[in-house]
Structure 1
């Protein structure tokens, strides 16, 4: 078969069969026409604000921060992963605008904050009682799987290519890196963020 002739799998569910249930969380339009959104089955037919409210009630106590001095295209993917692991919030440090394409609309469900500078992020983190964990393969960093991440923390990531700035490295309370065994110096920033977030979940939410 040619690619254009291949059957397309439908995402989600069609219209609700039978009498519509009475539940304030449900969206009458979705019940009527079906729900083709990229959400887990437990949220089918739910209104978006109801989904956000439920996520807010059970977010994990880690935050994700990304330096954004060069409009890093990975930020959208990192937001999507943060949503998957129910991070408390994603913090964009530097330029306010970021490429949302990789987020696949998960930014509608994920709390996102902005800080003009690393110093501003530090002030916020200290006030919130959060430790800052720099994620980069810099001198002195320890393997993330060998040094348990703090439960209440900010996982701070740099940009694709240059990594974290000297200012970000200097203010961090801890420095971790991902074990690598190949020829390349670093891995993709979005992939690194996914690995470290999963490591937090593995340590603090094993079940």
Structure 2
């Protein structure tokens, strides 16, 4: 199993959907109505139908920019492979976005792909390839994980070899590639717009939304994890 970051465990495992809702209602007393309304609005546009995989991104500002794009486009899950370069988002670029998305650390690309396939994802590598498709034409009928590689050398041979499909972004200039953060932003824009215009059931379930709002609540409350843990203990004791 991947390691979930920054929360090492899901403290809400074992709670029923009703208990999670009750716990969130109690936690919401610790922050403003405006914040609660914001959470209710934003969670409606969160998705796991599209996910992002980052393989050995070594420049912190690029990692942070990708997290920021994920948050902006409502993509909730980021999967990190750091068997060569540590994943270290820069706070000044992420502008707090790392608090609102879920990211998971995998031992290597094979482990990341295996985990995603077990969840029903199609693995799509972002690079020019003899079998590539323009990103505007990529089918999104099933959950899709976009894979982005390191800045200088791109994706590893394994990441390319084991992918299910390949996409490229239309380009009309002399430069042969986009910066990784730009590539991620453009890719997410194309696919999330296509997804939202479709009949695909891309939204989180009601229980997933409540669970996510609980994690957000811990970010919004001072010492939020301790507060929510105490509320949970009081509710379940």
TM over 0.5: yes
The answer to whether residue 70 in structure 2 is matched with residue 82 in structure 1 is yes
Instruction: Tell me how far 1:145 sits from its aligned partner.
Output: 1.1
Report matched runs for 1:96-111 at 5 Å.
Answer: 96-101=86-91, 102-111=93-102
Q: How many residues align?
A: 171
Report matched runs for 1:123-138 at 5 Å.
Answer: 123-138=114-129
Q: Judge conservation of contact 1:131–1:150 (CA < 8 Å) in 2.
A: no
Look up the match of 1:158: 149
Q: Judge conservation of contact 1:134–1:156 (CA < 8 Å) in 2.
A: yes
Q: Judge conservation of contact 1:59–1:87 (CA < 8 Å) in 2.
A: yes
- The structure that has the greater radius of gyration is 1
The answer to whether residue 175 in structure 2 is matched with residue 184 in structure 1 is yes
Summarize deviations over 1:164-183 as a string: whole Å, max 9, x none: 11111011100000011111
Query: Could you list the runs of 5+ residues in structure 2 that have no partner in the other structure?
Result: 1-25, 199-237
Look up the match of 2:130: 139
Instruction: Tell me how far 1:100 sits from its aligned partner.
Output: 2.7
Summarize deviations over 1:36-80 as a string: whole Å, max 9, x none: xxxxxxx84449xx8399638842411101112534531101001
Look up the match of 2:28: 25
Q: Give the direction of change, closer, same or farther, for the CA distance of 1:121–1:84 in structure 2 (3 Å limit).
A: same
Q: Judge conservation of contact 2:63–2:87 (CA < 8 Å) in 1.
A: no
For 1:146 and 1:68, how far apart are their aligned partners in 2?
27
For 1:201 and 1:171, how far apart are their aligned partners in 2?
24
Q: Judge conservation of contact 1:61–1:88 (CA < 8 Å) in 2.
A: no
| Higher share in helix | 2
Q: Give the direction of change, closer, same or farther, for the CA distance of 1:65–1:72 in structure 2 (3 Å limit).
A: same
Q: 2:197 aligns with which of 187, 196, 206?
A: 206
Query: Could you list the runs of 5+ residues in structure 1 that have no partner in the other structure?
Result: 1-22, 32-42
TM superposition score normalised by structure 2: 0.63
Considering Cα pairs closer than 8 Å and 6+ residues apart, tell me whether 1 or 2 has the greater RCO: 2
Aligned residues: CA RMSD: 3.0
For 2:172 and 2:45, how far apart are their aligned partners in 1?
40
For 2:97 and 2:164, how far apart are their aligned partners in 1?
29
Q: Give the direction of change, closer, same or farther, for the CA distance of 1:85–1:167 in structure 2 (3 Å limit).
A: same
Q: Judge conservation of contact 1:151–1:204 (CA < 8 Å) in 2.
A: no
Q: Judge conservation of contact 1:72–1:159 (CA < 8 Å) in 2.
A: no
